[in-house]
Structure 1
Amino acid sequence: MGNKAVANRYAVALFQLAKEKGILKQIGDELQLVKAVFEQTDTLSTVLEHPKVLQETKTEMIKRSFEQAVSEYVLNSLLIMVERKKGSLIIPFINKFQELAYEAQSVAEAKVYTVKPLSEEDKVQISKTFAKKVGVETLYIENIIDPKLIGGMKIRIGDRIYDGSIKRQLDRLERNLVAGNR
């Protein structure tokens, strides 16, 4: 079975448990904390996958790192993954869980690329407008500054891209001019 499928199985199992217990948001928040720790500590995944590090050491490291910060459900999921030598799949597991949780809660994430930071009012307006377009109730906005856009904005929601940037318009104009000269 592929690594992605394995990560998905762990995520689905934890998702079903969290949904059954009514703690979907809590588990999602805890997993985001775990994800932040893994992303900020490059060597954590490497240590968990290293064959010369004893299994007891890996288990103890996970316990010490997360025992006080997460619920027993999240901690047990992490421990099972580490014991089964799937530590490298923790980030994909968290991402899949988040995807399932958002879908169940009618929520989506949007990456909004702009030249300058968006105000809170702008974020709310973009959220309202694009939530309707993608069929969700809530749209979380992550604003990413990209000076190459020149102006306007580009929005990525899942695998959809809405590109209203000046750079795209200039690129399209250039293609039309080049195509027209032949």
Structure 2
Amino acid sequence: MALSREEIAARYGTALFGYAEDVHNLDAIHAELNELAIALKENPKFVATLSDPILNCKDKEALLTSVERDLSEEVQNFLNMLLDYNRFDVVIEIIAFFNQLYNKAKGVASGTVTTSYQLSSDELSRLSDGYAKKYHLSSVRLENEVDPSIIGGAVLQVGDIVIDGSVKHRLTKIRRQLIDKK
């Protein structure tokens, strides 16, 4: 049975994360992979070329070698392994899964806060710091989304946790309570 892209990303990302921990180079590999992911997203034809089953293996290796010479030995070995096992088409998903494991290990979370108006950077920072402190995280990266329909307040979502402090939500709860009392 064939593995899904998510399963492949989870297996390879977990293996890479474990390897990075074993060689005590987690932070450097993380930083390098993030730069690599940006470059690969900007150049999708590169991934498509290295994933092309018609292209000769030697040509793929030569192309990869010309690009990876500035990368660490660990990342080079990882990329060569993906090429050898015909998994280069999933490289961006693997890096994303690696980043999830990295963020979890470092106590870093990310999410969105939806408000009726654009928050200032100071407000966003205070909200991030408060959430991180409450949930014992080292940091939280929040992005602000504006939705005037929530009327006021905020809806904060980080991972599976949703804190709905919007006026719209409160009005809905009051409405339900009034209807239930009839």
Q: Same fold (TM over 0.5)?
A: yes
Amino acid at match of 1:143: E
Task: Pick closer, same or farther for the CA change 1:142–1:32 going to 2, 3 Å.
Answer: farther
Instruction: Tell me whether 1:101 sits opposite 2:105 in the alignment.
Output: no
The structure having more radius of gyration, on CA atoms, is 2
TM-score, scaled relative to structure 2: 0.76
Alignment of structure 1 residues 10-21 onto 2, 5 Å: 10-21=12-23
Q: Give unmatched runs, 5+ long, in structure 1.
A: none
What's the secondary structure of 1:44's corresponding residue?
A: helix
Give 1:65's aligned residue: 67
Deviation at 1:86, TM superposition (A): 0.5
Instruction: Report if aligned partners of 2:33, 2:75 keep a CA contact under 8 Å in 1.
Output: yes
Q: Which residue does 1:136 correspond to in 2?
A: 137
Asked if residue 121 in structure 1 is aligned to residue 126 in structure 2, the reply is no
Q: Does 1:35 align with 2:49?
A: no
On the 8 A contact 1:151/1:165 being kept in 2, the answer is yes
**Could you tell me which residue of structure 2 aligns to residue 80 of structure 1?**
81
> In the aligned structure 2, how far is the partner of 1:113 from the partner of 1:24?
33
Q: Distance in 2 between matches of 1:51 and 1:19?
A: 33
Q: In 1, distance between residues paired with 2:145 and 2:126? A: 18
Q: How far, CA to CA, are the matches of 2:151 and 2:51 in structure 1?
A: 43
Aligned equivalents of 1:10 and 1:113: distance in 2? 34
Change (3 A) 1:9 1:137: same
- Give, as a single letter, the amino acid of the residue that structure 2 aligns with 1:42: P
- Of residues 18-27 and 80-89 in structure 1, the stretch that sits farther from structure 2 once superposed is 18-27
Per-residue CA deviation, residues 41-91 of structure 1 (Å, 9 max, x unaligned), is 2323322222222222323333333331x3111121112112211012112
Q: Report how many aligned residue pairs link the two structures.
A: 178
Instruction: Tell me the CA shift for residue 11 of structure 1.
Output: 1.5
Q: Which moved more, 1:38-47 or 1:161-170?
A: 161-170
1:10/1:162 CA distance change after superposition, 3 Å: same
2:7 corresponding residue in structure 1: 5
* 1:115-160 alpha-carbon deviations (Å, 9 max, x no partner): 6554342233122211234442222x24244455665443332233
Is contact 2:114-2:147 (8 Å) kept? Answer: no
Alpha-carbon separation, structure 2, partners of 1:15 and 1:32: 13
Moved over 6 A (4+): none
Q: How far apart in 1 are the matches of 2:27 and 2:63?
A: 26
1:114–1:143 CA contact under 8 A, matched in 2: no
